[in-house]
Structure 1
Amino acid sequence: MAHASIALVIGTRPEAIKLSPVARALAAQGLKPLLIVTGQHPGLELAGHDLDGFDSVPLCCEGLPDPTIHADLVRSAMTRVLALRGIDMVIVQGDTSSALGGALAAREQGLFLAHVEAGLRSHDPRFPWPEEENRVQIDRLADLLFAPTAGNAANLRREGVAGEVHVTGNTGIDALATLVGPLPLKKRFRLLPKRKFQLLVTCHRRENWGDGLARLADALNDLAGDRGVTIDVVLHPNPTVAQAMAELVRGQEAIRVLPPLSHDALVTAMRRADLLISDSGGMQEEAPALGVPMLVLRRRTERPEALASGNARMLEPDPKSIAATVRALRRDHRELEAMARPTMPFGDGRSAPRIAGLTRAWLDRHSAREPVAGVA
């Protein structure tokens, strides 16, 4: 299909980060995409993600407390855009309400649908909610499913999805390589007994709101009293979550509260840290490639490859457990060093060209308006 028209759905900063390499790779294949910017994260700057050279359409659907309502707003707004622009294929990334709304709009219009980062599963719809339900639904609808890992592809095949499954790696690693150079990085540091211990913390998942933030803050306030420990807490763009976290750790000399950081600045902070504590999915992917030890502040993870690599561990969301785990790793330099060996469980940093090539081949083989997966 020489003149196929493709739309990429971008609503959040992680989607912009992970779809930027895809947009550039599609353009290199002669398939320069239209960017549909939903507005889920207000103030998202395309130029900050090397996406300013692409045609874009804003939907102005700002994120809402009820993600189901937001997904429906995106679906409705996108349906009008797709009809006007003559789109043949919609590509969504991940598991946000923007991605779900975009997927539903594509099927409503009878268009092809591709899912970047398909097949991730925590196998528990509560953790994380609504992301686990969103990605399962998107995968059922998609014609092309780009699974980051063999494990993700196995999940899809067990579920019997109708679409075509390909293992491509995760485009987040492509974006990371753009910032830091060839991956994996060499071992970054050798921890010395008298060296200051730098802890980097982020927390934003819905499952950790309220009591979860309070438990984390109790642990950080406890650790702040340890000699030689410094703690950077990076706030999330969600103002409610950010304000709650800032209040909970206020007044601790050893704790520095940082505003939301750009991707580049956050990666720089990760590389300086001795240990990460986070519930972020993207950081679970990036930490192994950077060789940064990580404690995953979640009850379930859809990225078990990070745990299997040895770079990350699940962290019991309890103040005493959090503090005890950090202190044990600080004492055991050999164990922390073992977690700091760079690994690449999420791909080699060349996922986007694979996705673009597979997309072009699909469109060359199929005529538009004949999607193979089930309709919504």
Structure 2
Amino acid sequence: MKVMIVFGTRPEAIKMAPLVHACKATPEFDTIVCVTGQHRQMLDQVLEIFDIQPDIDLDLMKAGQDLFDVTSSVLLGMRDILKTHKPDIVCVHGDTTTAYAAATAAFYLGIPVAHIEAGLRTHDVQSPFPEEFNRQVIGKVATFHFAPTASTRENLLGEGVPAERIFVTGNTVIDALFWVIARLETKDALQRPSINRLLTEQLHFDLSSNRFVLITGHRRENFGQGFLSICEAIKQLAIAFPSVQFVYPVHLNPNVQAPVKDLISGHQNIHLIEPLEYEAFVYLLKRAYIVLTDSGGIQEEAPSLGKPVLVMREVTERPEAVTAGTVKLVGANTENIVKGISTLLCDESAYQAMALAHNPYGDGKAVSRIVDAISRAQIPKNSDL
């Protein structure tokens, strides 16, 4: 069976890396790895960490490109790739523009699509934008749906997806997380270039003796007033808790860089650092006291490490962690963010209630379940493209 795995962003690469290695280790699979380069530098870092050499690289990243550019470039690029290589199945991940356009291209050519991390929903097509639209469309064209949790399976069943096409696997990000943690626990971890740079060039406090809040933020829906409110909250917290460190790897998007650097630079306990390679990020995540984020995957990774997560969004497509108690929604709201972080810093019982909550995202064996399901699927050979 010829299996093509397509991804283009850093989050996709992290979550697909374990699948790449598992498929390549499966004798009955002829595995082709295709990257689009939607995130160029950040994607390349992940490929290096996980030792992945793409077979195909569309290299479509260009300065100033928008959703129209990315969508059309991936769609047209994948048309030629699919016609040339004739895969029997195309695997895409999540809700990126790469995943949406690659799945659409496969659908146009009648190639079965396997959707990894299927069934996540906010049921608001504008939030997050454009991710909710992307994943709903992929859900319409996919043949196989690899849902990370029981509730994502229920979402798909509610949309009319046949039960025999849905497989509850856990989330592959846990597979990736455990893989990196195992490597970081070796004695030479501090000699890894990304860790060494983090500790010697970017952070200037003792991670083992200082509580710190790890912050990430990049969502489009928070551009503008949202980031102004987030920055105001961080500033208030830094002043109120001078012994607590606030570490913020700042996304490269100018809509994030401008307000962050204008409003919260210059505070002694606020550390604005460059975006981190995945190894260094996991190193920090494992040592953080609290996570404040508007990201998606961190809502899955942090609970695996016992870290309370406050999410700066009004809705989340990952409600399982909210139900479990390890994640709370605070929105891009200054008052809610300040109150939420302050409570966790000052109330040990509130902290422990979140830190010890059950992680609903799996046991690190999602990839083996996906490979097994694809192996057993009855897929006709694709030789007529």
Q: TM-score scaled by structure 2?
A: 0.87
Structure 1 match to 2:175 = 174
Structure 2 match to 1:48 = 48
Structure 1 match to 2:32 = 34
Contact map agreement 2:150 2:168 (CA 8 A) in 1: yes
Moved over 6 A (4+): none
Matched positions, count:
352
Residue 108 (structure 1) aligned with residue 108 (structure 2): yes
Alpha-carbon distance between aligned partners in 2 of 1:15 and 1:265, rounded to the nearest angstrom: 18
1:224 counterpart SS class? helix
Contact map agreement 2:103 2:113 (CA 8 A) in 1: yes
Deviates more, 1:72-81 or 1:228-237: 228-237
* Offset of residue 241 of structure 1: 2.3
More relative contact order in 1 or in 2 (CA 8 Å, sep 6+)? Answer: 1
* Offset of residue 18 of structure 1: 0.5
Contact map agreement 1:16 1:49 (CA 8 A) in 2: no
Percentage of pairs with the same residue: 37
The amino acid of 1:165's aligned partner reads I
Unpaired runs of at least 5, structure 2: 184-208
The 5 Å alignment of 1:347-358 reads 347-358=362-373
Structure 2 match to 1:136 = 136
2:115 counterpart SS class? strand
Residue 20 (structure 1) aligned with residue 43 (structure 2): no
Alpha-carbon distance between aligned partners in 1 of 2:138 and 2:106, rounded to the nearest angstrom: 11
Alpha-carbon distance between aligned partners in 2 of 1:232 and 1:368, rounded to the nearest angstrom: 50
Alpha-carbon distance between aligned partners in 2 of 1:110 and 1:248, rounded to the nearest angstrom: 51
Structure 2 match to 1:85 = 85
The amino acid of 1:169's aligned partner reads G
1:225 counterpart SS class? helix
Residue 220 (structure 1) aligned with residue 234 (structure 2): yes
Structure 2 match to 1:287 = 302
Alpha-carbon distance between aligned partners in 2 of 1:323 and 1:231, rounded to the nearest angstrom: 13
2:161 counterpart SS class? coil
Deviates more, 1:283-292 or 1:81-90: 81-90
Change (3 A) 1:33 1:244: farther
What's the C-alpha RMSD, in Å, of the aligned pairs?
Answer: 1.9
1:126 counterpart SS class? coil
Residue 62 (structure 1) aligned with residue 75 (structure 2): no
Structure 2 match to 1:322 = 337
Deviates more, 1:263-272 or 1:216-225: 263-272
Q: Could you tell me which of 200, 207, 218 is aligned with 1:204? A: 218
2:39 counterpart SS class? coil
Structure 2 match to 1:192 = none
Alpha-carbon distance between aligned partners in 1 of 2:250 and 2:151, rounded to the nearest angstrom: 32
Alpha-carbon distance between aligned partners in 1 of 2:6 and 2:71, rounded to the nearest angstrom: 12
Residue 5 (structure 1) aligned with residue 5 (structure 2): no
> When you count helix as a share of all residues, which structure comes out higher?
2
Change (3 A) 1:349 1:279: same
Alpha-carbon distance between aligned partners in 1 of 2:279 and 2:239, rounded to the nearest angstrom: 30
Contact map agreement 1:112 1:369 (CA 8 A) in 2: no
* Offset of residue 327 of structure 1: 1.4
Unpaired runs of at least 5, structure 1: 183-194, 371-376
Change (3 A) 1:214 1:224: same
Change (3 A) 1:49 1:82: farther
Alpha-carbon distance between aligned partners in 1 of 2:65 and 2:323, rounded to the nearest angstrom: 34
* Offset of residue 57 of structure 1: 0.9
Deviations 1:1-56 (A, max 9, x none): xxx2111111100111001111111122222421111111022215424243x452
Structure 1 match to 2:149 = 149
* Offset of residue 161 of structure 1: 2.5
* Offset of residue 351 of structure 1: 0.3
Structure 1 match to 2:118 = 118
The 5 Å alignment of 1:268-347 reads 268-341=283-356, 343-347=358-362
Deviations 1:197-233 (A, max 9, x none): 3111110011111111111100111111123221111
* Offset of residue 66 of structure 1: 3.4
Deviates more, 1:80-89 or 1:292-301: 80-89
The amino acid of 1:257's aligned partner reads L
* Offset of residue 294 of structure 1: 0.8
Contact map agreement 1:295 1:315 (CA 8 A) in 2: yes
* Offset of residue 247 of structure 1: 2.7
Residue 367 (structure 1) aligned with residue 380 (structure 2): yes
1:280 counterpart SS class? coil
Contact map agreement 2:88 2:379 (CA 8 A) in 1: no
